[in-house]
């Protein structure tokens, strides 16, 4: 497969870098504009919800004043049915605030009602609104409840008193949340065609929604509703019940505990931004192509000396190649020094590779082989079917050495053990530090008896020789043989490991020889 020349590589790198920079610029611009637009929309919705909460508060205050005026007119003439009916009719027709107006005495009996219906006068009013109004004897807003006829109602009441201040009952106005009235008109006129809408909740219950069939629904898991139910205003990015991401602003109506939430679909907010980014991309394309052309031209100028040098050294005749190189006129330092640098670099590289190969198979602390070096020896003997013995050994209670004397003494102790292993071992044996305080001795063409004797000699020597820790150290050793202990090398190593742990279980400072494999 032909290799790319430097000019094409420079061109590819430059074009890739430029493309990435352009892509990142567009991405960063989009993200910044997106974040700014989202913040602005969230804040606009919050302000909108606050303003609408204030308007709703004013509406409710006005409704209370209307009830208060009627209460002042009705109070002195509560027993005059004609007067009561005239006043409730007047209040109902005065504005579109209430869907019904009624007067109730202290015994919960209905004295007058507009509009008239089948409910007879003197009938008992049995609903949460009536109980609350009679109990408080104060102007109140009774939160949403379902009436016997199925309507969802918010009731406003005002007490009736005699001229002497005696409590006579109350006059109430009912707002049907699922029917037309001034509150419904006030909230409903703020619906937009781009998917924006608002709703009103109280204690997680929808008391207004642009979809009337949802009024009365209890909402769970909506963070905006949770916040506004706690009397807090703010804004949030959330997902509505239909799975649409919404930018919501919310504010409470303080006097009622209602919460108004105004929200707009995230997608509708970002539509204009997407168009703007598309126009920006179209504008940048000609500039991008001009930059690519300039990069192509510059890459050719930069790569020409190196390309000429590469062609020159491919010539079979060294003299011709030398003359060709001499004719090259470099205009930057790298071309002039390239040949000498390559030769120096190759020499240094070979030296380092040799050192790395040695280092990769040697434990730097003890200068014994590591696991990789030991595995290389095992693989070599396995291929030639050469028998060998394995001794796994572990310093007993080595952690106590580190804890009592420090890790420096611990390292000296490991080096001390390595020296004793070298001193007692033959030249053909492979000595390995397999990790931590664990070591391995591989003994080619050695039977179990000889390996056991060597292990016992090493154990006895260490047990009677003062170590850098100031006292002798003891070893636990496990001995196995290939193929006597097992015909599979991995099982031989496992047998040696099991023998080592058996030595530990038997009190340490001990050699255990693995049993031979049964035929």
Q: pLDDT at position 294, please?
A: 83
Q: CB under 8 Å to 58, separation ≥6 — which residues? A: none
Which of 34-38, 80-84, 176-180, 503-507 reaches the highest mean pLDDT?
503-507
Of 442, 52, 412, 425, the C-alpha closest to 228 is 52
Q: CB under 8 Å to 494, separation ≥6 — which residues? A: 486
Question: Is 311's pLDDT higher than 80?
Answer: no
pLDDT more than 90, % of the chain:
33
What contacts 24+ positions apart, CB below 8 Å, involve 114-118?
114/85, 114/88, 114/89
- 212-269 pLDDT, tens digit each: 788 888 888 889 888 888 889 999 998 888 888 999 999 999 888 889 999 889 888 8
Cβ–Cβ under 8 Å, residues 46 and 250 = yes
Radius of gyration over alpha carbons of the chain, in Å?
A: 47
110's enclosing H/E stretch is strand 110-114
Which of 67-81, 136-150, 319-333 reaches the highest mean pLDDT?
67-81
Cβ–Cβ under 8 Å, residues 499 and 512 = yes
Q: pLDDT at position 8, please?
A: 74
- 367-378 pLDDT, tens digit each: 999 999 999 999
Neighbours of 396 (CB within 10 A): 20
């Amino acid at each position: 497969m032909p290799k790319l020349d430097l000019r094409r590589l420079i061109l590819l790198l430059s074009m890739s870098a430029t493309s990435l920079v352009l892509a990142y610029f567009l991405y960063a611009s989009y993200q910044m504009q997106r974040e700014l637009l989202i913040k602005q929309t969230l804040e606009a919705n919050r302000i909108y919800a606050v303003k609408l909460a204030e308007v709703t508060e004013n509406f409710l205050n006005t409704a209370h004043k209307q009830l208060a005026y009627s209460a002042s007119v009705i109070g002195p003439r509560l027993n005059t049915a004609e007067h009561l009916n005239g006043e409730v009719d007047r209040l109902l027709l005065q504005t579109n605030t209430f869907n019904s107006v009624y007067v109730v005495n202290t015994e919960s009996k209905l004295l007058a009602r507009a509009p008239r219906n089948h409910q007879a006068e003197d009938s008992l009013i049995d609903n949460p609104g009536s109980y609350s109004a009679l109990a408080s004897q104060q102007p109140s807003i009774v939160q949403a409840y379902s009436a016997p006829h199925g309507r969802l109602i918010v009731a406003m009441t005002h007490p009736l008193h005699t001229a002497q201040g005696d409590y006579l009952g109350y006059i109430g106005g009912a707002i049907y949340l699922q029917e037309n009235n001034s509150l419904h008109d006030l909230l409903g006129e703020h619906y937009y065609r781009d998917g924006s809408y608002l709703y009103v909740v109280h204690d997680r219950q929808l008391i207004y929604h642009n979809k009337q069939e949802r009024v009365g629904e209890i909402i769970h898991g909506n963070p905006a509703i949770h916040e506004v139910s706690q009397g807090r205003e703010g804004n949030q990015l959330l997902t509505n019940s239909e799975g649409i991401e919404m930018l919501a602003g919310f504010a409470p109506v303080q006097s009622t505990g209602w919460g108004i939430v105004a929200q707009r679909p995230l997608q509708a907010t970002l539509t204009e931004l997407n168009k703007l980014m598309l126009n920006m991309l179209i504008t940048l394309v000609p500039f991008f192509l001009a930059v690519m052309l300039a990069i192509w031209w510059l890459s050719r100028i930069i790569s020409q000396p190196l390309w000429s040098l590469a062609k020159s050294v491919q010539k079979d005749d060294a003299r011709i190649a030398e003359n060709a190189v001499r004719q090259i006129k470099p205009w930057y330092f790298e071309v002039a020094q390239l040949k000498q640098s390559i030769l120096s670099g190759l020499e240094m590289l070979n030296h380092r590779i040799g050192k790395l190969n040695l280092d990769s198979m040697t434990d730097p602390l003890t200068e014994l082989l590591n696991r990789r070096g030991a595995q290389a020896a095992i693989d070599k003997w396995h291929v030639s079917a050469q028998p060998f013995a394995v001794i796994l050994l572990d310093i007993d209670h080595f952690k106590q050495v580190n804890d009592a004397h420090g890790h420096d003494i611990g390292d000296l102790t490991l080096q001390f053990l390595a020296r004793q292993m070298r001193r007692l071992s033959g030249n053909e044996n492979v000595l390995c530090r397999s990790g931590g305080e664990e070591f391995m001795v591989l003994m080619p063409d050695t039977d179990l008896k000889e390996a056991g004797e060597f292990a016992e000699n090493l154990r006895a020597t260490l047990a009677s020789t003062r170590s850098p820790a100031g006292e002798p150290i003891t070893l636990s050793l496990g001995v196995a043989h290939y193929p006597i202990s097992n015909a599979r090398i991995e099982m031989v190593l496992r047998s040696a490991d099991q023998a080592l742990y058996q030595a530990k279980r038997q009190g340490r400072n001990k050699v255990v020889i693995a049993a031979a494999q049964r035929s």
